[in-house]
Structure 1
Amino acid sequence: MASKISASNSRDLQPVETLKNKENTRLIWLDGNIDDSKDSMHTQNLLLEFNPAAQFYTDSTRCVDFVKSIQGEQILLIISGALARDVLPQISRVRSVIAVFIFCRNREFHVKLMSEYSKIVDIFIVQDELLRLLRDTMTIVEKQAFTFSLFDQTQKSTRDLSKDSASFLWNQLLLYVLKKMPQDDQAKNEMLTTCSNYYAMNKKELNKIEQFRKSYSREQAIKWYTDECFLYKLLNNAIRTEDIDLLYAFRFYTIDLCHALEKESEKLKTGGVLKLYRGQHIPNGEFEKLRKATGTLISTNGFLSTSRSIDVALGFIRQLPVNDDMKLCIFEINADPNVTAVVFADIDKYSKMQGEQEVLFGLNSTFKIDHVKMEKKLNVWKIGLSTTAEGSTRIEQYMKLQEDQLQLISPLVSFGCLLLNELGQIERAKCYFSKLLHSLPSDHPDISSIQNNLGNVYSAKDELNLALKYYEDAYRKRRSTLSENHPLIAGSLHNIGLIYKDKGDFDRALDYLHQSLAIDEKNYPGDHSSKAITLQNIGLAYQSKGDIDSALAWLKRAFHMYTRVLPAPHPYIASALGNLG
């Protein structure tokens, strides 16, 4: 069912009342004369077609409060001449405001404001001219949407990663998981329904969505991306903001686009290293991180558009207002087609904008920062990057450590496990697993794993009764579908035992943990990391019970088994050593 979006219910809202923006840009119109008159409603509806999350304000205080509340979006502000002098001083230093358009009846009266506030694009008295430049600016801003993650190679444990390094790992693993998800009509329809609901007020996008539904084939994936329609805007923003719901909904198309780029990239293998460029406005804080990170790995959060022409790259950054909050930068990328871990393809022939000489990098693209220096002739900062396979190597190391667990769960489930177990993002994991539980049929083979992981979520939140409920649901499901000595049966018994330990029922906890160990012994007669985990938790249960001698014996067994099966240093070994005091 389509979302109920209208101009009248998008007016003078508090931040918590506004529609979640699924695009990179947000339009805001501030004018004391906005009302329900025919002309005013026509303009409001046009702006809603540009951006479904557009907001309209007659109250300047509410508008300023909303502007200051926005994070992670780029604001294009249309403001009446009558309110400009009062509001501009309050928002001119707000980083998210990147462009201001003054709409008034007397251009000359307000023109001197352009020399005072660098974010003003122009002053308009004709609505059509305003809308035309507004649309062009939105297109440029969408192309400028860009975030990156730096990877600190000294950090060993994924749970202890910095925010940047965790995002780096997330982006590297995202493609691995997505490629293993099923591509079927259900996935396609889910994506199109999500898009139709969001663009319910936009006839142009709804027509595009219907065209996609009727005529799309995977051979057209790149062409659809270059069309800069709903796919381009929603997909890149979903990846950039790590929007779980949208990423899951877009799995159908994302996989096609990645495969299409891989196929197209083969055509560059016989050539040499390409020199590619991307113009970028980078916030001062982000720029400083880059400048201090020479030699570090960087991963782009999304598909990255570049050009063979430095003039094209420069043209993009010079079409937007320049302000003191940003640095004008050119990324100069040495792209080696023989670094197979980084996929890039020449897509100029697919593009509607011929002549931009566009080369598109796929997900998982990792670069090394070679240098950051001022290019005085061009008056821009030049950031030198080189493609590298080091990001792929890091993922291979991670996958090797997780190999046993990954064999027991499907890609659908592993996506949520990444969030919960490796990145520690509990609420996002809860959202993801809850969505799966309510969308999949009750006899789906992944249901028990989803229930088990919801148990993990609630255990992490210390909501023990809910955790126990989901663990027991998973256990019952597994007993009805799996052999009695299946490793997942052992996993369920183990988890139930841990909950009883945390609830203080140590005898019951030990009963479940010993049942789990008995199955582990049958599945893994020798040393194994899963068995070592069970040994350790039996020891901790005895410790909590006050039986220190038994605890020490079990904890020593766990420690020695860890040292035999895991590489040093490893967080499990460190944890086991810590338990021994």
Structure 2
Amino acid sequence: MNDHTSSQASIDCRYLRQYIAQGYLLIWLDHNIDETNEECQNILKLLNNVDNTINIFTNPDECVDFFTETNGIKTFLILNNILGEQIIPLIHDIPQLDQIYIFSRTNLSSDHEWIKKWPKIKHVHSEITSLCNTLKMVIRQTNQDSIITSVISPNEIKESKNLNELEPTFMYSQIFKDILLKMNYSDNSIAEFITFCRNKNFGSTININRFEKEYHDKSPIWWYTWPAFIYSTLNDSLRKLESDTIIKMGFFIRHLHDQIQQLYDEKRDSFGKKSFKVYRGQGLSKEHFEKVVKAKGGLLSFNNFLSTTESKRVSSMFALSASTAPDTIGVLFIMSIDPSISSTPFACIKEYSFSAEEKEILFSMHTIFRIGNIKKHVSYDQVYEIELQLTADDDQDLRILTDWLSKDVEDEIGWKRLCNLLIKIGQLEKAEEFYNTLIEQTSDVQDLIHYCGQLAFIKFQQDDKKMWVWYHVKINELRRTTSSNHSDFNNKIITTNMNLSEDSKTVMIDDSDCTSASEAVLKCDVMSMEEFQEKQVSANAFRFYEKALADFERNLRSTTIYNSVDPVDDDLKQTCPLLWFQRKMLEIRQKYLHPTHPDIARSYGVIAPLYSEREDHYQARSFYQKSIDIYEKILPSNHPILACLYNNIGLTYECTSEYSQALFFLKKSLEIGEKALPPDHPDLNSTYGNIGAIYQLLNEYSNAIVYYQKRLAIHQRQLPLNDLKLADDYENIGLMYNKLNDYANGIVYYEKRLAIHQQQLLSNDMRLIDSYENIGTMYSKLNDDANAIVFYEKALDFAEKYSPSEYATMFIYSFRIARLYEKSENYWQSVFFYEKAVGINRYLSSNPLNLALCYNNIGAAYTKLGENWEALVYLENALKMKKSCSSEDESCLGSIEDNVNRLKELLNENEDQSE
């Protein structure tokens, strides 16, 4: 059987990870594929040499279902001309369909009229070798563009006080290199990686089996350049910092580096002392390109193994090709290499590569360059040339960074060192991912306690208090499994199950659930006031917590006593026991700990929201500020925990209508979050929404839209298209456009909101009628009466069906619809809805103005219809109701008397004429 993936109607989720790692899908769709046919087998063999994960389909529907289920993975599609002409109009605008190639074994000119219509058709081929050459270039381009770079400007190096202020990827890729190249690996590492690949479905079974059987028969460079799963899996894991894959591939990274180093050492003398140039063409996002431009004179690192060539022409073509992609700048890197710089090994791999067609020079991972001149390409205006100089072994800036790294994580080795760095630079999610991977791979009690302690620290900084408690409880369990509390656990091996079931994460306040006083204290730390009261703590349980406080104080006693404590009002014990408990804990900590101890800061941070729950926002603010004052002294200025506190104190200012101060703190929170957190982090999402709400309260609707849009963008990347949170975002943005009198845009967002609500809500949900009314109102303001009527009628139908007692609402909708029909000169429909309004008004408390308006307008409509006698009846009724109205209301009715008199005169004249 060939190495390609077999046809299937729906993508198997087990294989999805393979395509994500690869970064693209290659599909061949042709009615006439027959894998038993010799010609077809030859074509497949050649295509497999390009990419042996090619997917083959003979059914168009199955093919389209397949690549539309892959969540935006770039897709390259091969079609024959007949099928292409039929199917391309239907699929051309699917976003993930990137490029189409027509492969017809009959001669076909690319100037065919139907081909000109579709810009995604890039090439037309009648020979398989020509098609394969094109695909090789396209796949190589995709691989080139997937390699990420990190930049650090000269000012960042000079002005930054610590690692937290530098680009994270630059830091941890350097640590990766140090760790991976110092670790020792055995054949067992290879076996573990193969098992890992099979479990994760990285690559086809045939390719994994081949790697297992032939690994030692071929060189690491050969495997790296082999068009299968090794290259894509390695580079994707390094790009995304995927802990499990990197750890499993550590042996291969080490082997590949060692071969490059060996070849460098062997050929070093042949290079001579003269510098030479190599080239690399790829695409950079506009944002990243601007960052490189601003960092001129600084450092740029390639965080993967770096592939270059001696051919400027070939690299220029790659850069030119990349420039055609949306929001992408084509870049030609011109790299000056001093062969005497021994810290960065490189090798010409032509003799060792899977494909020996060109002179490729491969550098080991994390190669660092100095950024030189940046200018437009001489031949291609849309391409920029960036000159890079390989950094010398004694480069001053590089030495500063290396010294920082050594100093900041000098106490740890191996993966612990990397995790420590990730925490220091605020990459908490990645640190957590690594620690969880390490937990799965060890049963050593000391390591498990260390990892749980670090995870508890991470969870506290993420404000996940329940999981913070869970890890502390787990640490206590681990310690109880040992023979003593001595710090040396003699490497005792245990089999504790570290998997976190939902039940095990639940925190209870029952005294029977607390196996120690310290656990009782921890569990109270994470409870809200409402939760505490819901538990209905018994007198016995409360005595247990009082005992816990006594034990807690006894454990903290030392020779030093600090006298500055916040006294606790004992009345709190009855009115708010949880707050009393936390205040007592703070009192104990203040008595025995240094004033800037992080546990005191944490106590302030736990107490503040309890005051917020009591709507005592000034006290809450005071405790948040005390927590901030300590953390600002002991944490880096851009630490995520400060971002959280700034956000929370900002919300207390919002609650007291001090919006400028609220905005000040929320923006401080955002400034940290945008630097220290991943772009889709929930805390960023929350802060964007909070800032948008403040601008809305300040009536600065344009600014509110900016931040609501940022929150929407995160939700769109994270959530299903019909998630109710998206509907809320659309409502907020639509409302802001409405406030700005930009009704056209307001309608766009309200209609998106309505579309989600119609899919997700029950048919009687009141949010539906809200959308109908708002959309109708905005159409009315745009003088689009027809659409306004449509939505007001939907609102009225909803009210009649699901809220039949909401007479005031139904009256308003009926009246508005009648007015719109009247404005559109559809007087019969106008009369119908005014009559409906009159009927509804009977169920409302007496309101003569409503009836007077309806009667007056019905009379006017009948007049327009020439039904003067009917008009007179209603106008006279309007006149009667007017007499019951207040003088202020009368002004709304105009001169009904004049209308009645004129109509009577007209009717009398008509009567006289008829006589």
Q: Normalising to structure 2: TM-score of the pair? A: 0.48
Partner of 1:138 in structure 2? Answer: 139
The answer to whether residue 297 in structure 2 is matched with residue 295 in structure 1 is: yes
Partner of 2:409 in structure 1? Answer: 402
Partner of 1:490 in structure 2? Answer: none
Tell whether the 8 Å contact from 2:461 to 2:641 is kept in structure 1 after alignment.
no
C-alpha distance in 1 between matches for 2:94 and 2:415: 40
Shift of 1:376: 1.9
Instruction: Name which one, 1 or 2, has greater alpha-carbon Rg.
Output: 2
Distance 1:447 1:229, change over 3 A: same
The answer to whether residue 390 in structure 2 is matched with residue 387 in structure 1 is: yes
C-alpha distance in 1 between matches for 2:183 and 2:102: 47
Q: How does 1:119-268 map to 2 (within 5 A)?
A: 120-124=121-125, 130=131, 134=135, 137-139=138-140, 141-142=142-143, 145-151=146-152, 153=156, 156=161, 165-196=167-198, 198=201, 201=204, 203=206, 206-212=209-215, 214-215=216-217, 220-222=219-221, 224-227=223-226, 230-266=229-265, 268=268
Q: Secondary structure at the match of 2:224?
A: helix
Shift of 1:229: 5.1
Shift of 1:253: 1.3
The answer to whether residue 378 in structure 2 is matched with residue 376 in structure 1 is: yes
Q: How does 1:149-548 map to 2 (within 5 A)?
A: 149-151=150-152, 153=156, 156=161, 165-196=167-198, 198=201, 201=204, 203=206, 206-212=209-215, 214-215=216-217, 220-222=219-221, 224-227=223-226, 230-266=229-265, 268=268, 271-284=273-286, 286-314=288-316, 323=324, 325=326, 326-337=328-339, 339=341, 341-351=343-353, 353-354=355-356, 356-377=358-379, 380-388=383-391, 389=395, 390-391=397-398, 393-403=400-410, 406-407=411-412, 410-426=413-429, 428-440=430-442, 442-443=443-444, 445-478=446-479, 480=482, 484=486, 501-503=525-527, 515=555, 535-538=597-600, 540-541=602-603
Q: Secondary structure at the match of 1:453?
A: helix
Shift of 1:134: 3.7
C-alpha distance in 2 between matches for 1:310 and 1:416: 40
Instruction: Supply the RMSD in Å over aligned alpha carbons.
Output: 5.3
Distance 1:460 1:543, change over 3 A: closer
Tell whether the 8 Å contact from 1:278 to 1:332 is kept in structure 2 after alignment.
yes
Distance 1:339 1:32, change over 3 A: closer
CA-to-aligned-CA distance 1:241-264 (integer Å, 9 cap, x gap): 333322121011112323443454
Q: Normalising to structure 1: TM-score of the pair? A: 0.71
Distance 1:89 1:334, change over 3 A: farther
CA-to-aligned-CA distance 1:285-310 (integer Å, 9 cap, x gap): 54444344423432213111123342
Give the partner amino acid of 2:600.
I
Q: Secondary structure at the match of 2:435?
A: helix
Whichever structure has more strand as a proportion of its residues is 1
Partner of 2:683 in structure 1? Answer: none
Give the partner amino acid of 2:252.
Y
Shift of 1:23: 4.0
CA-to-aligned-CA distance 1:170-228 (integer Å, 9 cap, x gap): 3222213333544233322222333456366363563243100x547xxx444543555
C-alpha distance in 1 between matches for 2:75 and 2:524: 51
Tell whether the 8 Å contact from 1:225 to 1:232 is kept in structure 2 after alignment.
yes
Give the partner amino acid of 2:414.
P
Give the partner amino acid of 2:173.
N
Distance 1:167 1:556, change over 3 A: closer
C-alpha distance in 1 between matches for 2:473 and 2:240: 35
CA-to-aligned-CA distance 1:392-428 (integer Å, 9 cap, x gap): 632431431333xx33xx52334444445534342x4
CA-to-aligned-CA distance 1:22-74 (integer Å, 9 cap, x gap): 5434224374849999779989997789354848572386467457x425xx5
Tell whether the 8 Å contact from 2:149 to 2:301 is kept in structure 1 after alignment.
yes
Give the partner amino acid of 2:237.
A
Give the partner amino acid of 2:75.
I
Q: Secondary structure at the match of 2:389?
A: strand
C-alpha distance in 1 between matches for 2:596 and 2:333: 50
Distance 1:20 1:155, change over 3 A: farther
Partner of 2:832 in structure 1? Answer: none
Q: Secondary structure at the match of 1:108?
A: coil
Tell whether the 8 Å contact from 1:413 to 1:449 is kept in structure 2 after alignment.
no
CA-to-aligned-CA distance 1:250-284 (integer Å, 9 cap, x gap): 01111232344345445548624332211224455
Gaps of 5+ in 1: 488-492, 521-530
Give the partner amino acid of 1:381.
Y
Distance 1:300 1:515, change over 3 A: farther
Q: Secondary structure at the match of 1:350?
A: coil
C-alpha distance in 1 between matches for 2:629 and 2:558: 15
Gaps of 5+ in 2: 490-516, 529-544, 561-592, 609-618, 647-915
Identity %: 20
C-alpha distance in 2 between matches for 1:54 and 1:457: 42
Distance 1:12 1:500, change over 3 A: same
Give the partner amino acid of 2:427.
G
C-alpha distance in 2 between matches for 1:383 and 1:482: 62
CA-to-aligned-CA distance 1:127-152 (integer Å, 9 cap, x gap): 67655754564356435542222335
Matched length: 538
C-alpha distance in 1 between matches for 2:211 and 2:35: 30
Give the partner amino acid of 1:401.
D
Q: Secondary structure at the match of 2:374?
A: strand
CA-to-aligned-CA distance 1:500-543 (integer Å, 9 cap, x gap): 544488995896698589699xxxxxxxxxx9898232354378
Distance 1:102 1:474, change over 3 A: same
Q: How does 1:19-168 map to 2 (within 5 A)?
A: 19-21=17-19, 23-29=21-27, 31=29, 33=31, 50-52=51-53, 54=55, 58-59=60-61, 62=65, 65-66=68-69, 69-70=71-72, 74-82=74-82, 84=84, 99-104=99-104, 108=108, 111-112=111-112, 120-124=121-125, 130=131, 134=135, 137-139=138-140, 141-142=142-143, 145-151=146-152, 153=156, 156=161, 165-168=167-170
